[in-house]
Each structure stands twice: as C-alpha cells, then as structure tokens.
Structure 1
Amino acid sequence: MVKKVTEGITISVETFYQPDYSNPVGSEYMFAYRITIENNNTFPIKLLRRHWYIIDSNGTHREVEGEGVVGVQPLLAPGESYQYVSGSNLRTEIGKMYGTYQMENQLNKKLFEVKIPEFQMVVPFKLN
C-alpha cells in the first residue's frame, strides 16, 4: 500500500492483479485498485474531478480525466473517509499510475488539488 498526504487529505492505494480478466497471450493485463480518501481537515470537502496518468512499461502514456470517481462526487465531513474500487488495463506486465483529485472546501468554496501517490501494477509472476 502507498500513501500520500496533501492539503490535509490522505490518499491510500492498494492494487490487485485480476487474472480472470487478463489475457497474457494477447498482452492484456487487468488490475484493480482500492483508493481510500481521508479528510483530516476541520472543514468538509467535496471531490469534484480526477486526473490520472497511466504508464505501461513499454512507454505508452495515457491520461484519463473527468468528474468524480466511479460516478460520484463524494462529500467528506472532517474525520470521514471514502473508499472505492476501480481498475485499469495495461498492455504490459508492469505499469504505474498516479494523478490528482480536484477538491472543493465546502466552507469557502475554494478549489485545491490533492496528489494521488504513484503506485505500481505488477503481475505477480514478475516478482519472482
């Protein structure tokens, strides 16, 4: 698990290889990741947008951005956390992702950016 704290928000990431949804012969590798967002501030926040950078070990770079996460824009009171699971496919056995969330302070409506820590996606048999 990797963690990063930005602007009082802790982002934790766990990754999982998905062999049942992968096809190594066809260079298709599916990974799931679980994100936990913790609001350590004294004010409520709302996650408005996400921006991901996805990099395969062959040098392919992709970007994904849009509103919210998994179809929602979660609102977190001080001390609350929100968790979701999503996924990404790679064309190689090893890759990485990182990115940012755009958050809004619900008291003063100011926008701020929270960094999503870089995390590795590695097919388990590559670790031997």
Structure 2
Amino acid sequence: MRKFFEDGNAERRLDSWIWAVRLFKTRSAAAAACRGGHVRVNGSPAKPGQRVGPDDEIRLRVEGVEKIVVVVRAITKRVGAAVVPECMVDRSPPPPPKEVLASVPRRDRGAGRPTKRDRREIDRLRGLEQ
C-alpha cells in the first residue's frame, strides 16, 4: 500500500492530521486554529500537539463554517483530494441556503463606517429594536 497509509491506526498530532486531510492549507494555519480555540476533539478544546486516532470526532471552524469530521485513519503526510474520504468521514451539516445568506443586509464596499442612523435602520430590519 502507499507510504502514507503505513501504520494508519497509530495516533498522530492533531495539527498535522487536519492539514494532511486538507482541512487547512498550511500546518501553521491548523496549529493557529487549535491555539485559537477553533478546534475541539471529542467535545473538549484541543492543542496542536494533541494525539488523534481512529474514531475521534473533530469539530472545527474553517472560514466561518462549522465542520464535523471523524478520523478513520491517522496519517501525517498530506494526501490528494481523492484519498481524503479514506482517511475521514465528514458529518458536517449542510450549508445554509443562499436565500438565507442573501437576506442579511450588506453595506457597499468602501461605504465607510455606519452612522448612528444607519445602525438603527439595520437593527430595525433585523428586528432587534425594542
């Protein structure tokens, strides 16, 4: 079998594993997410050096999206996108529909900081005003 699958049941570093299965572009970004509290293993906050193995559940925030994955095989070398499903099971909820995202009011880029009047109008649209 391929080199990155040797001893796939052993435990590996968390930051190395989430980088290897392409959840982050760099290992340093994966470690920063762990240090920032954006990664949880089996429900508890995780450090970059924490060991993960098969059947561990990892919850992380990537670019504002919640991802839930279960480790199938612990690897350290980065693998191709076609091999990733052999190493993890993605249990993430489906993304919200585009209609919901489009209904959030957005300011034009470069329009500057909202005035007090603008903020009150935004709050009124959101239904936050009492």
TM-score of the two chains, using structure 1 as the length reference:
0.27
Q: Which has the larger radius of gyration?
A: 2
Higher RCO (CA-CA < 8 Å; seq separation 6+): 1
